[in-house]
Amino acid sequence: MVLGTSSGAGKSLMTAALCRVLRRRGERPLPFKGQNMSNNAWVDQAGGEMAYSQALQAWAAGLEPQCAMNPVLLKPQGDSTSELIHLGRSVGLARAEHYYRDWFRPGWAAIRAGLGELQATHPGGRLVLEGAGSPVEVNLQSRDLTNLRLAQYLRARCVLVADIERGGVFAQIVGTLGLLRPVERPLIKGLLINRFRGRRELFDEGRRWLEAHTGVPVLGVMPWLDELFPPEDSLDLLERRGRKGGAELNIAVLQLPSLSNFSDLDPLEAEPTVQLQWVRPGQALGQPDAVVVPGSKQTLRDLAALRSSGLAGQLLAYAAGGGHVFGICGGLQMLGDQLHDPEGLEGHDTPGVAGANPGVRGLGLLPLRTVFGANKALRQVQSEAQWPCPAALEGFELHHGLSHLTSHLSSELGLLPLAQGEGLGWVRRDAAAPGTIAGTYLHGIFDNGPWRRHWLNQLRERQGLPPLGTLQPHHSRQRDALLDRLADAFEAHVDLGPLLR
């Protein structure tokens, strides 16, 4: 089990590295995180919803992701409320103050069921568990679902990861170990220092002190890796401030308050000639080469935030001036004319949002009417793009709400479907303006290499830049190579002996 001294210590990536290393050694690693809190989700082949980080760990292990790897998923939607997913299916809403009272026992049952399903599907595998946050939140220890309760239940050997980049690494480790109960302390078999800059020998004295003071061996010191790994949560996006020396296109991404599925942007961020600029409500949009409106867990609230901050007005002015705008899922819904929430799924305390109302006005950039309903679209999709080029597409749908065209004047509007298959997306190209307004329900659309490059080449042509090659593999190839480089560093700097003996 990989535990961390705090959120953001690097547990998710260290678990992925461990899975890839064990796979190289001929084992069958089975990634598992009992409970995760994230709006960055994946849909498995059976149509079950799970955290993207466990999907990444499954790919590292050479397995197809399945929601049993993350049996409890909390998807925050503001006001201390989260949608609760058990074994891939939504089971209701949970308020923070009542979560453990109402959902502790059902959550533990889901975790045990997930373990059973995973082990039955992959007999003979070795579970590689990821903890959540800190394992020693003293006000929560008695109700902890996914850290040391699970470690004790499975008799897991634990490694404690600490992020030295954030400072205070000695206090992180000693404080965490000091707050463990006597029955828990023997579970910790090793320490791992993460994100160390400089020569490792400079930490030798610190390593000796930790081992002498705690009695726990330091398994390794992972260096700072100058790689663009998938962010573990949306907070990691705030740390991505670097500029690319070879960037030729600037693409703005609206950092919505309830941003979801931000992994959709990973393939663009991995493009050497593309600089992503995350723009929060209240910041200036400027004149980027394109604007992406990403997914949202609370579409109507985020739309209200865009309006109240003035960012919606900037986006409309940008589009009227011939800008390129692309919406994904909730972003697509915002680009439409009308959004209706008759069942109050989007929250009951946002003015003009919830309840039986005549609808909320969208941005009016696409002739769409969206109605939110209780049923959620959850499926993997394979299709054929019709814009900007014929190309194979694969991805997944994960959304409340169905969108339909409100206008039959598609030829006059320059409106066409983005892909084969009803309701996957639309494109509007106005002959009177050089810009394009488009959107899709397909998460992972930028993963498709030829499609992504054709989309970028439209932007490049407008800037007088030469086209990029379009014979690009699926982004999963690039992601797999990245996981290999992560595992190479892990094997070079970490001794797994105390964990595997």
Residues designated catalytic: 329, 443
| 473 Cβ neighbours under 8 A, 6+ residues apart | 449
Structure tokens, 41: 């989700």
Q: Is 256 helix (H, G, I), strand (E, B) or coil?
A: coil
Distance between CA 147 and CA 323 in Å, rounded? 48
Q: Is 234 helix (H, G, I), strand (E, B) or coil?
A: helix
496 φ/ψ angles, rounded to the nearest 5 degrees: -85, 0
Residue written as tokens 């902890």? 144
Sign of CA dihedral 136, 137, 139, 144: negative
Distance between CA 291 and CA 437 in Å, rounded? 10
CB atoms within 10 A of CB 205: 9
400 φ/ψ angles, rounded to the nearest 5 degrees: -85, 155
| 266 Cβ neighbours under 8 A, 6+ residues apart | 230, 446, 475, 479
Question: For residue 467, what is the DSSP state?
Answer: P
Residue written as tokens 């105390």? 498
Structure tokens, 315: 């986006």
Q: Is 472 helix (H, G, I), strand (E, B) or coil?
A: coil
Sign of CA dihedral 113, 118, 121, 127: negative
- Residue ranges with strand state E in 285-406: 290-293, 295-296, 324-328, 338-340, 360-361, 368-385, 391-405
- Strands 126-129, 158-163: pairing is unpaired
Burial class, 326, CB count within 10 angstroms (exposed 0-12 / middle 13-18 / buried 19+): buried
